[in-house]
Amino acid sequence: MDKTVAEKNRGAQDIVRAGQRMDLRGWVPATAGNISCRLADGRIAITRSGCHKGFLRTDDVITVDEAGHPHDPANKPSAETLLHCQAYRLMPQVGAVLHGHSVASTVLSMDVREPALILRDYEVQKVFEGQTTHDASIAIPLFDNDQDIARLATVVEPFFGRMPAGYIIRGHGVYVWGRDMDMALARLEGLEFLLACELERRRARA
């Protein structure tokens, strides 16, 4: 098998596996969310537009360049491809990016009007880069939703380097990343756990 084809197949298998896990957790309802990974040759493997992430097949994964253009013009990338490409461009160490639409991220991001959601005193915070103790706080930036993804990317870009736990688009969902798919999934699971805890605490106080 051609080396580039084999590499793409490995990336596609990682993406299928991630989609199944995210679907089991209820983080990618209907055709929501998107998943990508960086291949060894610099191409980005990403989910095709309109696919249910729990039922992905390897041929539902396409490749794009760093500008988000599909290598095969017949393929339609996910609507938020530019946000994935942005993360890879600005963080060379990143190997996978995940975007989900959980209930907790959707509700909290619409309820919190501050520019960031502050998490503090949770042990699970240590899953994020640079976090070594529960006795600290971590800010998750919140950005207003925008159907113009290129414009949204310009709003998000200045915050890179200051988002160890990723970010949330209001009423939309989370973006997280890691050096590989396993790390990205661990960070997504950690963030979603913390968001679920915050939502439960707010309900208990209501």
Q: Is 148 in a helix, a strand, or coil?
A: coil
Distance from C-alpha of 59 to C-alpha of 45, rounded to nearest angstrom: 11
In what helix (H) or strand (E) does residue 178 lie, and over which residues does it extend?
strand 173-178
Helix, strand, coil distribution of the chain in percent, nearest 5: 45, 20, 35
Is 172 part of any known ligand binding site? no
How far apart, in Å, are the Cα atoms of 107 and each of 34, 129, 174, 187, 195?
19, 25, 12, 20, 10
Ligand-binding site membership of 99 (annotated): yes
Residue 46 tokens read as 């990403």
CA count, 13 A, side-chain hemisphere, 76: 4
Alpha-carbon dihedral sign for residues 66, 169, 130, 24:
negative
Distance CA 52, CA 45 (A): 16
d(C-alpha 3, C-alpha 11), whole Å: 12
**Annotated binding-site members for Zn(2+):** 99, 101
